[in-house]
């Protein structure tokens, strides 16, 4: 079985996350997807609580599954002490599914940071890496240094930013065009990101 892992802070999940997961399912011939809510050591504290981020990631997972069952939510990273490290998540998934072929889904920005990740060289031994880049595959390939692990690059231009969504929500503006309807409703009903 071909199983992908897609981690993020999901603060909040947005249409870019949804499109990436659906795009990856078709392009990579994935059988299953794990959506993992993280505590990213490269980012400051999340604006929304772990419970709210998990709930919204659950809604994202439901959106991904609207056509057919494919994705599952994992809060394993949140249950660990300290920050999240991708290598630990991948080892955990590999233990759970020892016969599966693992694929890590990442955005181009995250991929460029990989040399700074804990045990980054080990990641490429645990899984294939699929990079979804805003600037296009050729540019990403040309600009990536030798320190980056091997990866398959996909042109993916979905300029949606969680930072911008939080800014709009804090200003009381609509975010329904940037997030799935269930997540827009959740943000509104829980008063998230209001200053």
Say whether the peptide bond before residue 46 is cis (omega within 30 degrees of 0): no
pLDDT tens digits, one per residue of 101-148: 999 999 988 898 899 899 998 999 999 999 998 655 454 454 455 578
Tokens 């889904």 correspond to 105
- Rg of the chain (C-alpha set): 16
pLDDT tens digits, one per residue of 36-47: 999 876 676 779
What residues form DSSP beta bridges with 153?
131
pLDDT tens digits, one per residue of 149-175: 889 999 988 888 999 999 999 999 999
Tokens 């296009």 correspond to 136
Q: In CATH terms, is domain 2-190 a member of 3.40.50.300?
A: no
What residues form DSSP beta bridges with 73?
35
| Integer Cα distance of 15 and 115 in angstroms | 28
Q: Is 76 exposed, middle or buried (0-12, 13-18, 19+ CB in 10 A)?
A: middle
Sorted by where each begins, the domain ranges of the chain are 2-190
């Amino acid at each position: 079985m071909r199983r992908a892992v897609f981690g993020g802070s999901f603060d909040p999940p947005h249409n870019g996350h949804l499109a990436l997961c659906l795009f990856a399912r078709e392009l990579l011939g994935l059988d299953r997807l794990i959506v993992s809510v993280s505590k990213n050591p490269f980012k400051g504290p999340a604006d929304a609580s772990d419970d709210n981020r998990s709930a919204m990631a659950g809604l994202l997972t439901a959106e991904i599954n609207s056509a057919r069952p494919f994705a599952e939510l994992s809060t394993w990273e949140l249950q660990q002490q300290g920050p999240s490290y991708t290598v630990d998540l991948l080892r955990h998934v590999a233990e759970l599914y020892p016969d599966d072929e693992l694929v890590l889904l990442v955005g181009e920005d995250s991929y460029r940071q990989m040399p700074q990740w804990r045990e980054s060289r080990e990641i490429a031994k645990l899984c294939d890496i699929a990079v979804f880049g805003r600037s296009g595959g050729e540019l990403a390939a040309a600009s990536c240094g030798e320190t980056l692990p091997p990866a398959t690059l996909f042109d993916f231009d979905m300029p949606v930013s969680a930072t911008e969504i939080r800014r709009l929500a804090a200003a009381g503006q609509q975010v329904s065009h940037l997030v799935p309807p269930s997540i827009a409703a959740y943000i509104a009903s829980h008063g998230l990101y209001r200053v």
